[in-house]
Structure 1
Amino acid sequence: MTAMTPGSNVPLSVPRVAVDVAAPSARLDVSGLLLTGDGKVRSDDDFVFYNQPQGPGVTHRSGGGSGPDTITVDTAAVPAGIEKIVVTASLDGGGPFAGTTPTATVRGADDGSVIATFTPTGLGPETALVVVEVYRRGGAWKVRAVGQGYANGLAGIATDFGVNVDEPAAPAAPAPAASVSAPPPPLAAMPSAPPPTGA
């Protein structure tokens, strides 16, 4: 098992890997985005999360509140045009990661053997993170530790990667007139770590 640092990478020796992301005493929402060479999803179908748990070669499994959410990548089933799958996390119910220590555990999906772990440190106002990425390089697959934070939640990450995050025009049930919400803040990414380096 390898304890990774931001920007480091580890070759994957198995074709199916599972990435568990958990934090002590905090419930996380974990998702995966399938990205092409230009760093974008092909469509909203490439955004895999609790409401859309199946994508081409990628699945989401909820921990049900008692365990970590898991993104599983079957590298043999990932479409040829997809270069990487980024695994993201945000706090269930929102809020910043300050005082929270999320850890990604990368393991063989079939035998459970731990391949690598990564724990981003020094988190503050970030409300969502790109934790790790599983990526294709020269015909082989690797995992890279990222730990980049965003101040505008999962919507900021999704928008950066080309997902349409438009909200429905109106809620199903009418809200009282006095409780009209303020518009959301602008979606601006706030890096919390230097960009990854190396192959």
Structure 2
Amino acid sequence: MTAMTPGSNIPLSAARVAVDVAAPVRLDVSGLLLTADGKVRSDDDFIFYNQPAGPGVTYRSGGGTAPDAIVVDTSAVPAGIEKIVVTASPDAAGQSFQGIEPTATVRNADDGSALATFTPPNLGSETALVVVEVYLRNGAWKVRAVGQGYANGLSGIATDFGVSVEEPAAPAAAPQAPQPPVAPMAPVP
């Protein structure tokens, strides 16, 4: 097993890999399928707990007792997809990674053997991370340690990669009390 550092990469020795991301707090883990321009083709390429399956990529819940994971079947990833980024954010709203050290473990999805681990260093105000990416280069699949943080949460990551993020509706303005009618002014002589 390889301990990765930011920017390092290794070739994948398995066609199906699971990337689980563990931390001392519950995390939301997701995956985005990206084309050569670094964007999703549609919102269907954003894989997470509410949309757990896409072409060649699935979300696997840890059930609260084990880490959530993104499973990539490189043989089933559609043509035109060159990268799957695996992201994580603390489940608690507004919580940052300050004092939390998430660790991604890349495993052979068929036998569970660990291929690599990566713990992003020096985290602080980030509320979401691109942890690792599984990518295609010259016909071979690899994994790269990224550790890029976002202070604007998962919506910042999703927006950067082309996912449409619906903003919460603004509260409706309170109806205003009707104003009493204004008496007409008497004409000035």
* TM-score relative to the length of structure 1: 0.84
> By how many angstroms is 1:167 displaced?
3.3
Partner in structure 1 of residue 90 of structure 2: 91
Flag as ranges the 4+ runs of structure 1 deviating above 2 A: 167-171
Q: Which runs of 5+ in 1 are unaligned?
A: 178-199
Aligned to 1:76, the other structure's residue is in SS state coil
Partner in structure 2 of residue 15 of structure 1: 15
Pairing 1:32–2:31 present: yes
Using the TM superposition, name which of 161-170 and 96-105 deviates more. Answer: 161-170
Partner in structure 1 of residue 76 of structure 2: 77
* Percent of residue pairs bearing the same amino acid type: 81
Partner in structure 1 of residue 6 of structure 2: 6
Pairing 1:136–2:133 present: no
1: CA distance, partners of 2:2 / 2:145: 11
> By how many angstroms is 1:168 displaced?
5.5
Pairing 1:122–2:122 present: yes
Q: Which runs of 5+ in 2 are unaligned?
A: 175-189
1: CA distance, partners of 2:71 / 2:96: 26
Aligned length: 172
> By how many angstroms is 1:170 displaced?
7.4
> By how many angstroms is 1:121 displaced?
1.3
Partner in structure 1 of residue 63 of structure 2: 64
2: CA distance, partners of 1:167 / 1:66: 31
Question: Residue deviations 1:163-195, cap 9 Å, x none?
Answer: 000135479xxx9x7xxxxxxxxxxxxxxxxxx
Partner in structure 2 of residue 156 of structure 1: 156
> By how many angstroms is 1:93 displaced?
1.5
> By how many angstroms is 1:76 displaced?
0.3
2: CA distance, partners of 1:136 / 1:70: 20
1: CA distance, partners of 2:48 / 2:158: 11
Cα RMSD (Å) of the superposition? 1.4
Aligned to 1:65, the other structure's residue is in SS state coil
2: CA distance, partners of 1:46 / 1:10: 24
* Rg (Cα) greater in structure: 2
Which one-letter code corresponds to 1:61 in the other structure? Answer: R
